Amino acid sequence: MFDAARLSEILHVHAGREGPLLPILHDVQAEFGHIPDAALDPIAGALRLSRAEVAGVVGFYHDFRAAPAGRHIIKLCRAEACQAMGGAGVQVRLEAALGQRLGETKNGVTLEAVYCLGLCANAPAAMVDDRLVGRLDGAAVDALVAEVSA
């Protein structure tokens, strides 16, 4: 839940620093689980930026969220090496098993696309919460879905 007083504390910590927008956004997301819409104007005002500039940065960086994520976050690699090793099929199976598409949050699971996890030698790959998973195939996808659905 958004707390304006807590946001003010975060802004105060970064007052006077060079280039504080990204650190502020990281701290806001760590505190609230996402970047609440209600935080954009106060952040913009504190940094003498427009709301559009702040919203643009939030929208540009994929790790910033405008809405809360699920209890579990699956980041599926969509980069070339993973695609060459069957990533499209993994995506289809994962979306079908979860009943959701990339970019959606349902039943406590957020499914996201990322464009390289650095696990190219073990493609196709994903990150489940903070754990890397490589060599995804049908059985691995089924196990992953069972894990996040428990």
Read off the pLDDT of residues 10-52 as tens digits, 9 standing for 90 and up: 999 999 999 999 999 999 999 999 999 999 999 999 999 999 9
Mean pLDDT of 108-137: 96
Residue 145 has pLDDT above 90, yes or no: yes
Alpha helices by DSSP H, the chain: 4-14, 21-32, 37-47, 51-60, 80-84, 87-98, 138-149
Place of tokens 């009943």: 99
Question: Taking the model in full, what pTM does it have?
Answer: 0.79
pLDDT-derived band of residue 150, with 50, 70 and 90 as boundaries? confident
What is residue 129's three-state secondary structure? Answer: coil
Read off the pLDDT of residues 44-82 as tens digits, 9 standing for 90 and up: 999 999 999 999 999 999 889 999 999 999 999 999 999
